[in-house]
A and B are shown apart, each in its own frame.
Chain A
Amino acid sequence: MAEVLLSSRDLSIGYEYSLIEKANFEIKEGDVIALLGPSGIGKTTLLRTIFGAVEPLEGSILSNIQKRGDLGFIPQRLGLIGNMSVESNVLNGVRVKRPWYQSLTLSLSSTAKKEVSTAISSLGLKEQSEQLVRTLSGGQQRRVATARSLAQNPKLILADEFLGELDEDNIELVLSSIKQMLEANNSAILMVEHHEEIAQKVANKIWRIENKTLIEQDVGDAFEEVSI
């Protein structure tokens, strides 16, 4: 029986005005959820509300994700540190899985280095591992942000349009790496996506935001296909 990672009760979100009202949802282990809807409808705001950057207008979110580092986030603008190498950015993913007081010495740990190197290699960035992130292309930077989440190995990933700017080969590469990680760890992902086709192929649930309502639809098994 899959454990519920996150659920909401009559959740209304937004800023001065509401974007989504009275949403009741559950995210369980192994879920691959694609969140669809036009720009400005509240998809990013829903992710930001889940990790606490925005207060709900009404209702509540109940979370079983209590451990440090069990929530991963890939923002639309990636949130990478441009002045640091690919390795150092990915190492931040490993850092949050360890107690905070180990953070400073973690770059010296051979286990951590191995975890970083595995995540980097699985996304085809081995050659760029020592390069500064700001010198990489948009697509490469997206893969670095994904590698950071892979290295973190969280129970739930919130991903905001993380496949944008990637060509078909790289979309497949990213999706298969994410699939491996989710299956190994029994984790879940909530991904904001613009492409219905991708959503149908990889997700087991599709959430749509229409008229301030969150509509859930089951669409079969997750990752039926990772080829696009």
Chain B
Amino acid sequence: MRKKIIISISFFLILISYLTFVDFKGDWALRNGGLDNLRTFFFESLWPPDWSVLDPRAYPVCERNIGLFCSIAWTGMVETIKIAFVATVFGFIIALPISSLAASNLAPPVVSLIARTTLAGMRSLPSIIWAVLFVVVVGFGPFAGVLAMTFYTIGYLGKLQFEAIEGIQNTPLEAHRAMGMNRLEIFIFVVIPESANNLISHMMFMFEYNVRHGTVIGLVGAGGIGWHISNYLKFLQYDKVLALLIVIFLTVVVIDLSSQFVRSFFNENNDSRNKTWLSVFLPANAVLSKEEE
């Protein structure tokens, strides 16, 4: 019976999606020669990437031994990572108390509703809009980027955090309440340790997310590698844009793999031994057989 219901619901969802797609059809029609245009754009403007973005900049004069460290790609990417890092840490610290007020198992319904609405409001403005607002307030540069990304992080991370808090078992909360702990103590000594794995995992995810989005907020002048992309776009230097996009892609892949490795230490099923770097790249059974050898 249950199986039939699941199949019916799945079928219904696919049908609705198809009908909605058909409704869009008029808007989705390809322009005549659209694919040819794309091919021309790719081979004439984008490809090959212009790797001069890895050369040291002419001004200011590079005083480092390795020229790469003075390049646009390096300085831009490092600035983006710095913005993302600071915003993630600030966002995490500010979101934590708000999410404790938003969690329905900790706060009264009215307080929870107000906190959730606040988080939803901060989340519903995309980081690029926050960036525009803060560029207006504090001017161009990474400070605007940090503020924009911190605000967005509070909204996004706060939601993940209160869902993690709501997911913890009720028994420790009830036991410590019965023992006489107040709300603040329960939050510090029960809730945070109980949900620590998820909180850390979410923070790592948010850092990756912020690095990716750091490139977007740069487009409106809020610092980082996106600022350079924005400048190259203005001068139609698409081959340099492509080179920077490849740099961003590689950085995101490295951060993703590192965060997977770090998160493996906080996995509850991983009490006896920690993951190896190999396990990030290979499936678990492959790593196991290699270790057994």
A contact residues vs B (CB 8 Å cutoff): 48, 51-53, 68-75, 77-84, 88, 92-93, 95-96, 100, 103-104, 132, 134-135, 152, 154, 158
Contact = CB atoms under 8 A, between A and B. Distances in A.
A71 B194 contact: no
A51 B178 contact: yes
Contacts of B182: 100
A81 B190 CA distance: 7
A83 B197 contact: yes
Interface of A is mostly: loop
A72 to B, nearest CB: 6
A75 B181 contact: no
A79 B181 contact: no
A82 B193 CA distance: 8
A79 B174 contact: yes
B200 to A, nearest CB: 11
B156 to A, nearest CB: 24
B271 interface: yes
Interface residues of B, number: 24
B185 A103 contact: yes
Contacts of A74: 175
Interface string B181-208: 1101100111001101100000000000
A77 B171 contact: yes
Contacts of B194: 81-83
Contact of A75 (B171, B180, B190): B171
Contacts of B185: 95-96, 100, 103
A152 B180 CA distance: 10
A102 to B, nearest CB: 11
A53 B177 contact: yes
Interface in B118-140: none
Given A75-B171, A135-B271, A158-B178, A104 B188 contact: yes
